[in-house]
Structure 1
């Protein structure tokens, strides 16, 4: 197993080095994402790629690797920590292992929609977490305003409340905040890479998953599920995270350009996502998937203890206040 991991890491690093030397720019950043090119968020990454070249007068280039071409998010984060010129679009739950406070961004029913959570990830308190993570773990956030939508339940049976999830093996990322949320909702959390969800559902290895609308159609999960229950249990805000060592090696003007353009591109991606949701829901319905609105109060009540269990009880009120504009 260790040999396989090392071989995979070597292949990824070889791809990065090859991509980095393929251009004449002074610096090249290789961005990995689990998203398909059809996802609205990917348009934001394309905007970032184009704007960076323009703003830097060609000194800095961005190359995109969709569908996790450089490996799982966790592997790319570890490559970044070694100083590799890579970045990954990643959620706060996965970053909690490096900076605990980041995990609250993936906590249940924290905020709704994009504008509120954007206030959180552009706040002074969040920037403090960014600085601490860069210094303590070698990971630099470029921007964290890449909103992918609210997560819903994907199953092959109707779901009306927590009791209906009993015995359901539900795919989720392996981060504690995700695992705790899905368990509290009533299902059995089953960590799997996103790329394996389609085949796992097809083979009945899992009974369900949870995801935002763009990811459902991007992974063609409408082919292997029959019901989407709109719980909106996690408001999926993600960030563009790179190597602090590599970032600090850039001239100061390129550091500023990279962070400024990442924030602007995050808005392009997030508002594009927001504007696409109604059409995606219609597409799912037309493909035969039943999309259901339910009363989410039982799920809100069931997941409320997750904050205290993970040590976010006090922070919850502060972050919700920022999201509300208080």
Structure 2
């Protein structure tokens, strides 16, 4: 009988220990374990997004005493944005600077941040990207395998890049314009009269050079960084997208971090996004001056006709009601 009672006691203690291990409690940071996050992006080392990622690396490694290491890979070294999203989704230790239009394939509502003329400037874009409304959409991404570290990485407003002058939407008719392959972005370019053509960013320069495409649309830092001013004659400042992007990693990888490191990474990602955004804003005039000096004509046009042409995008993508919610956040009628 004593032996039986002893065995039962040992079994009970063992079950208690197992229950404690499965309680879901997150351990404190393991002093001996190191973690690595690889950040990939399509832009070059001169781009504000790269500089922001390097600022993130510096601050996160300092606060974690080197236990959470970050490596930054510009110029598509780790693959395209779509490639990196897929890697993150399945649990790889990667993060990517990505846009809301791509993430809309998982959570449609988030795509409105990349809809045409949804915001008019950086301040409005940041207000939306840091709102409770946006956070609700970001939370939904977790069930699709993504974790938004921050979404306040402003890359500038996007304009048309062509070799023929563009003054109104009719001038875009028949032009093959490179734009990312998301439905909202392609629908926007189509609504303005052009033929949207999906190419990876690294293929835009040779595509323009070899006349595979007639033009593209992008923000100044990316245009200058990719030397596109060498193969275009005109930049038409339509500002059809305010490109507010985010730093996104995989939910599987993020959940392996101790809570202490999770908090540090989230806090520093917001700070780094603001750092990168300021670099963008401070450099826009300089980019324009350099591209003008290289022979590019930069035209300011009346954007009212372009805005009117893109109204159909909200209807086709069933974003009319969601746009009203966004306007409430922004204090617009």
Normalised by the size of structure 2, how large is the TM-score?
Answer: 0.89
What does 1:67-78 correspond to in 2, within 5 Å? 67-78=75-86
Task: Select 1:272's aligned residue among 272, 279, 285.
Answer: 279
Root-mean-square deviation (CA), in Å? 1.2
Once residues 186 and 144 of structure 1 are traced to their aligned partners in structure 2, the CA distance between those partners, rounded to angstroms, is 30
**SS of residue matched to 1:249:** coil
Alignment of 1:34-45 (within 5 A): 34-45=42-53
Q: How does 1:220-239 map to 2 (within 5 A)?
A: 220-239=227-246
Matched position secondary structure for 1:234: strand
Paired with 1:248 and 1:78, the residues of 2 have a C-alpha distance of 17
Indicate which of 74, 84, 87 corresponds to 2:95: 87
Alignment of 1:284 with 2:298, yes or no, is no
Count of residues in Structure 1 that have an aligned counterpart in Structure 2: 302
Give the structure-1-normalised TM-score. Answer: 0.91
- 1:191 match: 198
Identify if the C-alpha distance between structure 1 residues 57 and 116 changes in structure 2 by more than 3 Å, giving closer, same or farther. same
Q: Deviations over 1:36-61 (max 9, x none)?
A: 00112221111001001011121101
Contact 2:34–2:67 (8 Å) recurs in 1: yes
1:171 aligns with 2:178: yes
Instruction: State the Cα distance separating 1:291 from its structure 2 match.
Output: 0.2
Q: d(CA) in 2 for partners of 1:194 and 1:166? A: 23
8 Å contact kept, 2:153–2:245: yes
3-state SS of the aligned residue for 1:58? coil
1:301 and 2:308 aligned: yes
Determine the structure 1 residue equivalent to 2:260: 253
Q: Which runs of 5+ in 1 are unaligned?
A: 1-23
1:325 deviates by 7.8
Larger Rg: 2
Q: Distance in 2 between matches of 1:277 and 1:92?
A: 22
Query: Aligned pair 1:119/2:119, yes or no?
Result: no
Q: Relative to structure 2, which stretch is displaced further, 286-295 or 49-58?
A: 49-58
Distance of 2:277 and 2:315 partners within structure 1: 30
CA positional deviation for 1:308: 1.6
Mapped contact 1:222–1:287 kept (Cα < 8 A) = yes
Structure 1 residue runs of 4 or more that deviate by more than 6 Å after TM superposition: none
The Cα shift of 1:287 comes to 0.5
Question: Cα offset for 1:102?
Answer: 1.3
Deviation at 1:324, TM superposition (A): 4.2
- Name 1:10's counterpart in structure 2: none
User: 8 Å contact 1:119–1:325 — kept in the other structure?
Assistant: no
Does the aligned pair in 2 maintain the 1:25–1:58 contact within 8 Å?
no
Mapped contact 1:228–1:290 kept (Cα < 8 A): yes
Is 1:209 aligned with 2:203?
Answer: no
Q: How much has 1:305 moved relative to structure 2?
A: 1.4
Q: Give the distance between the partners of 2:36 and 2:48, measured in 1 at CA.
A: 24
- The alpha carbon displacement at 1:134 in A equals 0.4
Question: Hey, what's the Cα distance between the residues in 1 that align with 2:110 and 2:284?
Answer: 26
The residue correspondences of 1:99-178 to structure 2 (distance < 5 A) are 99-135=107-143, 137-178=144-185
| Alpha-carbon offset, residue 221 of structure 1 | 0.3
Shift of 1:115: 1.3
Alignment check: 8 A CA contact 1:118 1:323 kept: no
Partner of residue 64, structure 1: 72
Deviates more, 1:304-313 or 1:140-149: 304-313
Query: C-alpha separation between the residues in 2 aligned to 1:323 and 1:78?
Result: 32
Distance of 2:296 and 2:120 partners within structure 1:
24
Q: Which runs of 5+ in 2 are unaligned?
A: 1-31
